[in-house]
Amino acid sequence: MEDDFEDFDPLPLDEHESMLVQQDLVDLEAFEVTFRNEGYKGVSVWCQDCAEDHFYPWELLRNNLQLLLETGETPVHEPAFEPDPEEYVPWEYARGYVDALSDVGVDRRRLVDECGRCGYQLEGDQKAANFCPRCGSGLLGARLGAALRERGLDEDDVGELLREIGIPG
């Protein structure tokens, strides 16, 4: 039986399979942009064969999917050492969450340069995060304040309006 596996030569993916893996790569990128700044290290995927979750850091899964596209097979890898399930977002949850964000237009959200609460200067993907990586406060107030100022309200009016509706600006 071992000899059967020695002669195994993986077949390249067909067009449909390639398209599915390419979509997984696109989805993975959207998940990472959405969840990395919230502290998630990667995604978990339910395995029907062993009836348990597998935990994949962002880069490992991206590399595995890319290799699958190129060769038709994925490498065997060691499971994460005692992963904390709270640090990995379930794939299906992430897909639904990102789809919902897209449906309501949040994927086109305004980027902000700094946290309105602690003044932390946001960089790169942090500008699209939901929460400040330094103090943990929500960045909705900073986004709303920037949009209101862009529409002509002065700083005092913006601050007053945000306080009135209970959002820290």
Q: What is the pLDDT of residues 53-78, one digit of tens each?
A: 999 999 999 999 999 999 888 777 66
Q: What is the pLDDT of the chain when averaged over all its residues?
A: 85
pLDDT of residue 49: 85
pLDDT of residue 45: 92
Q: Average pLDDT for residues 76-102, to the nearest whole number? A: 86
Angle at 15 between CA 9 and CA 21, to 5 degrees: 80
The model's confidence at residue 94, banded by pLDDT at 50, 70 and 90, is: very high
Higher pLDDT, 1 or 57: 57
pLDDT at 8: 54
Find the largest Cα–Cα distance for the chain.
77
Please check the confidence at residue 136 and state whether its pLDDT lies above 80: yes
Please tell me which residue, 107 or 143, carries the higher pLDDT value: 143
Question: Helix 91-103 and helix 15-35: axis angle, to 10°?
Answer: 80
The verdict on pTM exceeding 0.85 is: no
HSE value, Cβ hemisphere, 13 Å, CA-based, for 85: 6
Q: 72 Cβ partners below 8 Å, 6+ apart? A: 10, 11, 12, 13
